[in-house]
Amino acid sequence: MADSSTVTATELIVVAVAIFCAAFVQVLSGFGFALLSMPIMTIALPVKEAVVVSTILGMISTTWQAVRLRADAERPLAKRLVLSAFVGMPLGLFILNVVSDTALRLTLGIAVIIATILLIARINLTAASNHFDYGVGFVSGVLNTSLSTNGPPLVFGLQARHLQAAPFRATISMVFAFSNVVGLSLFALNGKITADGLKAAAIAFPAWLVGQGLAWPVRKHVHGERFRVMVLTLLFLAGTSTIVFALL
């Protein structure tokens, strides 16, 4: 992992590969951008810098998808998740500033694995009160500004509510879009946006375009049980890879 102030060509290639994979998967599943991009990018970049790159390009992805899929979104549910996420974001930024990279990664990886196991068990929380959504949103906000990986609690919450593929993608994209805009604003106010981070994001942008473009034709074939299996597989891989990279 790079510790210097200058990002090398090799490190930028790693970032581009991460962004391509993440953009492709984001279109198919509605989530996964940070889950995939963060573990790969942190091979080359410090977590605090990778978080900014992921948030910048993730904001572009989720805003585009939120607008395109808005007709299918569960708006009252999205509103509860967004408002509570805003409340959790300042705590996440504080954690980013005081907790070590290794501790952050290990915590995230373990939490993702636990959420995956619960979803495999087909936990059903369709009858849960709105307080469940507020709790899910708050945790996602904390993770958004601490690790740029607010997906796991949102995926868990929406899957536990048994949303189908179309409303799942639309609702989670809407939450991501608002969360990323506010998260990026907090990063800017806290001085976390660096020249190297902006350079890496700009150079990786073409990889994002290619990943998005290749994924949309494939997306129509991913639904039903195939969609559920893909979501669970992504969560498991993200959790295990995050733990592995944290221990390296």
Mean pLDDT across the stretch 103-129? 81
Mean pLDDT across the stretch 69-76? 93
Mean pLDDT across the stretch 67-93? 93
Q: Is residue 4 part of a domain?
A: no
Q: Is residue 3 part of a domain?
A: no
Q: Is residue 122 part of a domain?
A: yes
Task: Provide the pLDDT for residue 1.
Answer: 44
Mean pLDDT across the stretch 64-82? 93
CA torsion sign, 160 to 186 to 103 to 35? positive
- Report the percent of the chain where pLDDT is more than 90: 21
Q: Is residue 182 part of a domain?
A: yes
Q: Is residue 2 part of a domain?
A: no
129: left (phi over 0), alpha (psi -120 to 50) or beta: beta
Task: Provide the pLDDT for residue 43.
Answer: 78
Range among 180-184, 211-215, 241-245 rated most confident:
211-215
Q: Is residue 210 part of a domain?
A: yes
- Report the percent of the chain where pLDDT is more than 70: 96
Instruction: Report how far residue 71's alpha carbon sits from residue 63's, in angstroms, rounded to the nearest whole number.
Output: 14
- Residue 180 pLDDT > 90: no
Residue 6 banded pLDDT, cuts 50, 70, 90: low
What's the domain range around 188? 9-247
Q: What is the mean pLDDT of the chain?
A: 83
Q: Is residue 89 part of a domain?
A: yes
241-245, Cβ contacts within 8 angstroms, sequence gap of 24 or more:
241/39, 241/109, 242/38, 242/39, 242/105, 242/106, 242/108, 242/109, 242/112, 243/105, 243/106, 243/109, 243/110, 243/113, 245/39, 245/42, 245/43, 245/105
Does the reported pTM lie above 0.85?
no
Q: Is residue 185 part of a domain?
A: yes
Total structural domains in the chain?
1
